[in-house]
Structure 1
Amino acid sequence: MAAVTKSKTKSGDSFFEIVKTVVTVGLVVLILRTFAFEPFNIPSGSMIPTLLIGDYVFVSKYSYGFSRYSFPLIHPPFSGRIFGRLPARGDVVVFKLPRDPSVDYIKRVIGLPGDKIQMVDGVLNVNGKPVELSRTEDFYDTEYQRNIETPQFIETLPEGRQHPILKLQKPGTGTYDNTPVFEVPADSIFAMGDNRDNSLDSRVPPRNNGVGFVPLENLVGRAEFRFFSYDDNVAPWWQVWEWPWAIRFSRMFTGVH
């Protein structure tokens, strides 16, 4: 009878296979995060009610082409965009803060190159015309303003796209309810938060810790959908036993509009 022996894998070969697998997975993830989708979490309330604190969104990296800011780890030394496309008015976008490119911001595109944007008594004006605002039900959430109902409106942009906004202050009394006319440069966009009285955005110049105009080069991508949402006010992340009550299941796998 012929003897049968088990083949033994050398420890060196085994280690090499592990390293190869880790490197391969790392490269695949890097490629996906650079050219397809990258996850971001929402740490602040400037985009309430569209995005809540604790939402996690996937951002499409290919929507507007690619720039040096498309790369998640390093910023290669080239300028402009490859396969560049303009965002649509109303898109929710992630971009690198112009005064500090190490910081990611998420806002809504309100003005495109050449547009004239102004706030008049709390109403957005695009190219000299006020947008339509219609009152809807108050927004209520325990994580924001602690049980205060906040006036909510539906804003209709010139192309017909609609989205909700919050207005804490009486229209015309907020800090940025009346502004000069902002003429958007040819290589930039004008971005605003949906939480109009609690958003440092393009209405606020960089010298005042705001955003100012956002160069097209700084665009990272378009927010597509929420894949997770967690209310840290219900339970800190480390309280695993409380997760079922803290996870906002109704917001998971829903589109960002």
Structure 2
Amino acid sequence: MVWFETILVVLTVLTGVIWLLDKLFFAKRRAARGGLLDEEPVLVDYSRAFFPVLAIVLVLRSFVAEPYKIPSSSMMPNLLIGDFILVNKFAYGLRLPINNQKVVAIGEPKRGDVVVFKPPHDPQNNWIKRVIGLPGDRIGFQGNTVSINGQALTYQTIGTYSGRGVAFGMDSAALLEEQLPGRPHQILEGLDRHVGEGEWLVPAGHYFVMGDNRDNSEDGRLWTQSHFLPEENLRGKAFLIWLNCEGWFCKGSFDASRIGNRIQ
């Protein structure tokens, strides 16, 4: 969230400035007056102790990997409520914290990538979906079937989804494997629902994203202001589940089998 990034940046800068000013000016003045080490102000002592830690966290979180907790069922069956995941922050270029401005271009999303982003209509929060359409693609969705540039995707029926815990309510959904080019993956769909049908031409610099839980995902099919995700709103590529528990402090159920699973 923006507020957390802002607080982290402010604290890092503030403690760094205090530590630097003391080292360059005030510490020398104390030494010239014959001051002892234990006369160092408490604020300086805390800044010297916390600045390196805050700086390391800021660099890792902004440019290497950021933790993220799955808040909804929109990416079931592949990501569950309670999954804690890691997001690769340099896969699509290095970006500054807070304003998310790209400073180093590295790569672009590929079809099938699971991405974390700021939706155009809710820029204060991070969402997670799968990239279905690339710039220039014509994406269609009719009768629970995705088509890309006029070519309908094929689906392999696996069976009926069997969920547990927070996923128990999806037991009636059909479990399918969607043959997305280069990235086949499992999806869920209702047996008698066709949510968000339509056809969309993805403009340059944008992507079309969808949730794997097709009937329970607020994604590009349903966004009203713009159906497309701007490239500058990307936060990173989801790549690993490192924990699963329903409560923030694992007060709910805990599923050790999901730890270490790669996100496909």
Pick the TM interval, shorter chain: 0.7 to 0.9
* C-alpha contact (below 8 Å) 2:160/2:171 kept by paired residues: no
| Displacement after TM superposition at 1:81 (Å) | 5.9
Secondary structure of 2:124's aligned partner: strand
Name the CA distance, whole Å, in 1 between partners of 2:122 and 2:189. Answer: 28
Q: CA deviation at 1:150?
A: 2.0
Q: 1:12 to 1:81 in 2, by over 3 A?
A: closer
Q: For the residues of structure 1 that align with 2:175 and 2:140, how far apart are their CA atoms?
A: 20
Q: Which residue identity lines up with residue 245 of structure 2 in the other structure?
A: Y
Match of 2:204 in 1: 186
Structure 1 window deviating more from structure 2 (129-138 vs 192-201): it is 129-138
Checking the alignment, whether the CA contact within 8 Å between 1:81 and 1:217 is kept in structure 2 is: no
1:221 and 2:236 aligned: yes
Name stretches of at least 5 consecutive residues in structure 1 with no aligned partner: 1-7
User: Which whole-Å CA distance do the structure 1 matches of 2:39 and 2:159 have between them?
Assistant: 65
User: Aligned partners of 1:117 and 1:84: how far apart in 2?
Assistant: 26
- Shift, 1:193, TM fit: 0.1
- Matched residue, 1:132: 154
RMSD between aligned residues: 2.3
2:116–2:127 contact (8 Å) kept in structure 1:
yes
- Map 1:136-215 to 2 at 5 A: 136-142=158-164, 143-144=166-167, 146=169, 148-159=171-182, 161-170=183-192, 173-176=193-196, 178-179=197-198, 181-207=199-225, 212-215=227-230
Partner of 1:26: 54
Question: Aligned to 2:190, what secondary structure does the other structure show?
Answer: coil
Closer, same or farther in 2 for the Cα pair 1:238/1:48, shift >3 Å? closer
Q: Any idea what the Cα deviations from partners look like across 1:139-164, whole Å, max 9, x if unmatched?
A: 222323537332100011123x1110
Contact persistence 2:173–2:191 (CA under 8 A):
no
Q: What is the one-letter code of the residue matched to 1:247?
A: F
Q: How many residues of Structure 1 are paired with residues of Structure 2 in the alignment? A: 228
Give matches, 1:3-18, under 5 Å: 10=38, 12=40, 16-18=44-46
| Distance in 2 (alpha carbons) for counterparts of 1:146 and 1:121 | 23
- Return the alpha-carbon distance in structure 2 between the equivalents of residues 96 and 11 of structure 1: 47
Q: 1:13 deviation in Å? A: 7.3
For the Cα contact (< 8 Å) 2:242–2:260, is it kept in 1?
A: yes
TM-score, normalization by structure 2 = 0.79
Query: Within 2, Cα distance between the matches of 1:14 and 1:175?
Result: 59
Structure 1 position 132, deviation (Å): 1.3
**2:259 aligns to what?**
252
TM-score, normalization: structure 1? 0.81
Cα distance between partner residues in 2 of 1:101 and 1:42: 17
Match of 2:86 in 1: 58
- Range with greater deviation from structure 2 (58-67 or 105-114): 58-67
Percent identity reads 35
Cα deviation, 1:157-188, whole Å, max 9, x if unaligned, reads: 123x1110001233xx4232x31x20000110
